[in-house]
Amino acid sequence: MRTQLDIQNNYLLKGHSTIRIGGVCSHFAEASNENSIMEALEYAYSKNKKVHVIGAGSNVLIGENPDTFVLKMVMRDVEVIGEKIIAKAGVYLPTISRIALCHGLTGFEWASAIPGTIGGAAIMNAGAYDTEFFDKVEAVTGIDMNGNKKTIPRSDIETSHRSSNIHPENFIVTEVSILLQKGDIGKIEKKMLEYTSYRKRTQPKGLTLGSTFMQSFDFTRGTGVSAGYYIDQCGLKGFTVGGASFSKIHANFIMNQGGGTFSDVLDLMEQAYYRVQEKFGVKLRPEVKILADSLLTRKFVSN
Ligand SMILES: NC(=O)C1=CN([C@@H]2O[C@H](COP(=O)(O)OP(=O)(O)OC[C@H]3O[C@@H](n4cnc5c(N)ncnc54)[C@H](OP(=O)(O)O)[C@@H]3O)[C@@H](O)[C@H]2O)C=CC1
Ligand SMILES: C=C(O[C@H]1[C@H](O)[C@@H](CO)O[C@H](OP(=O)(O)OP(=O)(O)OC[C@H]2O[C@@H](n3ccc(=O)[nH]c3=O)[C@H](O)[C@@H]2O)[C@@H]1NC(C)=O)C(=O)O
């Protein structure tokens, strides 16, 4: 019998999401290498459970008691070869920005205060300040749900706003190769400070999942429009359900004010979805990933 992986039953997930909401999953383990991923897949298959991967949990809203195997990526090695940085999936984005700065490499300044991991960023095509994760990616390596290892070159990866054709239900990202350019250390640091300062001015601190909904494309203006703009225009800043509210600083951020629940957050999302649709005819699309067994009563999630 294989014993390397420490699998825990009936595990409380709350601490693994940055909004600090979430119930008990049937199985939980931390993957520190590829073997542990293989072992988790085998075990989940034997128990007929789906595997859900989490990184920093900065974008995942966790339901009451998901009957699933949650695998947290804690693979955190980083290698720098010339202008290339090869990072394991559990490495935090700001760590890469700081390593790039130390090596005088430019192109990853945008991520210096983004609270996610490389793996989460690859699945979601993370981005900020008109830059996207895949702008600097050379290849993504991972393991499919049958246990096969595969490296996907950037040329085979299709991306759009906050999405790529790498889907977590088929593929667990283990490593990303990022190609940057030599730059001026002073300029790199200045850019990082500017981004961090913009973030501090425009986004709230606290228990949140960052942007709740994606930007919507405005065809007349030919640009993406912040969901925060639409939600704000509907007068929802500060609007509260139970222990959760829309931030007074940025309307697209839902804050857990203490004691907020999964259903409080879904109720807020529902309010925003229907009010924005009524006022602007725009259908907001959730940016947050929802880890829950059933959402059949919440039609807005799949609209
Ligand atoms: N621009 C900004 O200001 C912010 C951006 N973000 C971005 O949101 C993303 C969240 O990152 P993170 O907190 O680590 O992710 P999460 O832990 O929140 O996971 C989000 C989803 O991504 C999938 N996932 C995560 N890691 C992996 C992996 N290694 N392999 C396969 N699937 C994976 C999972 O899908 P499943 O459950 O289906 O398995 C999970 O539900 C990042 O892209 C981050 O940059 C977050 C906050 C602010
Ligand atoms: C926070 C995230 O990413 C953020 C990223 O940090 C910022 C900065 O570049 O740009 C996106 O937000 P965003 O579209 O809301 O951009 P912001 O710069 O915050 O806001 C744009 C504009 O919307 C308007 N706005 C925003 C919030 C608000 O309450 N009211 C309002 O009117 C303002 O005009 C503001 O100038 C990303 N979100 C998405 C879904 O693209 C995340 O992914 O979790």
CATH number at residue 61: 3.30.43.10
| 175 and 94 in a common domain | yes
- Asked if residue 197 belongs to a domain, the reply is no
- Asked if residue 194 belongs to a domain, the reply is no
The pLDDT of residue 303: 56
Please confirm, yes or no, whether 98 is among the known catalytic residues.
no
29 lines ligand 1 (CB under 6 A): no
Q: How far is the CA of 69 from the centre of ligand 2 (A)?
A: 33
120 lines ligand 1 (CB under 6 A): yes
Helix (H) or strand (E) run with residue 76 in it: none
- Asked if residue 281 belongs to a domain, the reply is yes
Two structure tokens written together for 257: 């004010």
Strands (DSSP E) along 6-130, which ranges?
8-12, 24-31, 51-54, 60-62, 69-73, 78-81, 84-88, 105-106, 127-128
Q: How far is the CA of 128 from the centre of ligand 2 (A)?
A: 9
Q: How far is the CA of 163 from the centre of ligand 2 (A)?
A: 17
In the listed set 36, 52, 73, which residue is the last one of a domain according to the structure? 73
Q: Which of the four pLDDT bands, split at 50, 70 and 90, describes residue 209?
A: very high
The pLDDT of residue 296: 64
The pLDDT of residue 146: 86
- In whole angstroms, what is the distance from residue 45 CA to residue 41 CA? 6
- Asked if residue 269 belongs to a domain, the reply is yes
Nearest residue to 290 via CA among 282, 299, 301? 301
Where does the chain have alpha helices with state H?
34-46, 93-102, 118-124, 185-202, 227-233, 262-280
Instruction: Indicate the SS3 state at residue 24.
Output: strand
- In whole angstroms, what is the distance from residue 202 CA to residue 205 CA? 10
| 152 and 180 in a common domain | yes
Residue 34 phi, psi dihedral angles, 5° rounding? -65, -35
Please tell me what DSSP assigns to residue 111: G
- Asked if residue 273 belongs to a domain, the reply is yes
Strand order in the sheet with 84-88: 78-81, 84-88, 171-179, 137-144, 149-153
- Asked if residue 1 belongs to a domain, the reply is no
pLDDT digits (tens, 9 = 90+) for 67-76: 999 999 999 9
- Give me the amino acid identity at 161: H
Two structure tokens written together for 242: 């139970």
Residue pair 110/194 in contact (Cβ under 8 Å)? The answer is no
Query: So what's the ipTM on this one?
Result: 0.95
| 120 and 160 in a common domain | yes
| 58 and 123 in a common domain | no
Query: Does pLDDT of 120 surpass 50?
Result: yes
- Find which of 2-6, 90-94, 145-149, 168-172 is predicted with most confidence, using mean pLDDT: 90-94
Q: Could you tell me the residue range of the domain that residue 169 belongs to?
A: 78-187
Q: Which of the four pLDDT bands, split at 50, 70 and 90, describes residue 4?
A: confident
- Asked if residue 198 belongs to a domain, the reply is no
The pLDDT of residue 27: 97
| 267 and 208 in a common domain | yes
| 37 and 22 in a common domain | yes
In the listed set 187, 214, 241, which residue is the last one of a domain according to the structure? 187
Mutate to test the pocket of ligand 1, among 25, 59, 61 (most ligand atoms within 8 A of CB): 59
Chain-wide mean pLDDT for the chain?
Answer: 94
| 87 and 69 in a common domain | no
Q: Which atom of ligand 2 is nearest to the CA of 210?
A: 44
